Amino acid sequence: MGFTIHGGFMRLRHLAMALSNLPPHPQRDASLEQYATEGDFAARWIAEIVQRGDLEEETRVVDLGAGNGILGIGCLLAGAESVLLVEQDAKCVHDYDGVEWLIGDVGEWSGTEVDLIIMNPPWGVQIAMADRPFLEGAFCSTARVIYLLHSAKATHIESLAKSLDWKGEVVLSGLFRLPAQYDHHRSHEGMTEVAVWRFIRN
């Protein structure tokens, strides 16, 4: 299985391996809700983005709450023109050719010079509304398409998007492993259901 980018064929397995080999997210700061995406799931997600025609040679990508940058770096490997990784926790940051980091709060990002936003932000489970600056930052940016991973249980996303003139659909779902420090709200052996949303302007 794979997908075509710039006329070349990329195997999903190779992308998944490259992403799995990134320095792991330390996932130490529970207050920042650090649930890292695994390589296999990230690769499936990126393939979905490419197949939908949302990621091309001239696409400028911003990854909000990037962690180790797995989602943004996935977009880079799939051919994005530029990738900016926005992350508050400096411990996640590592050198990676071809990406830029903005180390700071998501609110420090300008919201401009972006075509595609990809994000797995805090879900607002540990700290109520922790996801709001991410959702609002994305919906008020100049992006033309937004991909968002969130808890499948979240019920506020669609209405918030609609109020800011975006429409969305769930394009991928799956199970996510929660790190040990979050296991007080685990549903099934530390796994929780997630949904990936794709938003475009109304």
Q: How many residues bind ligand SAH (CB under 6 A)?
A: 23
Check binding of 76 to ligand SAH (CB under 6 A): no
Find the helix packing angle between 39-51 and 70-77, rounded to 10°. Answer: 50
Check binding of 41 to ligand SAH (CB under 6 A): no
Beta carbons of 149 and 193 less than 8 angstroms apart: no
Buried b (16+ CB within 10 A) or exposed e, 126-140: eeeebbebbbebbbe
Shortest gap between Cβ of 65 and ligand SAH (angstroms)? 3
Shortest gap between Cβ of 107 and ligand SAH (angstroms)? 7
Question: Helix (H, G, I), strand (E, B), or coil: what is residue 171?
Answer: strand
Stretches 52-60, 88-96, 158-166, 171-179: which one binds ligand SAH (CB under 6 A)? Answer: 88-96
Check binding of 198 to ligand SAH (CB under 6 A): no
Tokens coding 107: 């609110």
Beta carbons of 62 and 142 less than 8 angstroms apart: no
Find the helix packing angle between 12-20 and 39-51, rounded to 10°. Answer: 140
Check binding of 92 to ligand SAH (CB under 6 A): yes
Tokens coding 42: 């990230």
Q: Which residues contact 163 (CB under 8 A, 6 or more apart)?
A: none
Stretches 8-16, 85-93, 162-170, 172-180: which one binds ligand SAH (CB under 6 A)? Answer: 85-93
Check binding of 65 to ligand SAH (CB under 6 A): yes
Cα(71)–Cα(83) distance, rounded to whole angstroms?
10
Q: Which of 62, 106, 178, 194 binds ligand SAH (CB under 6 A)?
A: 106
Shortest gap between Cβ of 142 and ligand SAH (angstroms)? 19
Cα(119)–Cα(139) distance, rounded to whole angstroms?
12
Stretches 10-18, 30-38, 93-101, 154-162: which one binds ligand SAH (CB under 6 A)? Answer: 30-38
Per-residue binder mask for ligand SAH (CB under 6 A), 118-157, x = binder: --xxx----------x------------------------
Given the rule CB under 6 A, which residues bind ligand SAH?
25, 32-37, 65-67, 70-71, 86-89, 92, 105-106, 120-122, 133
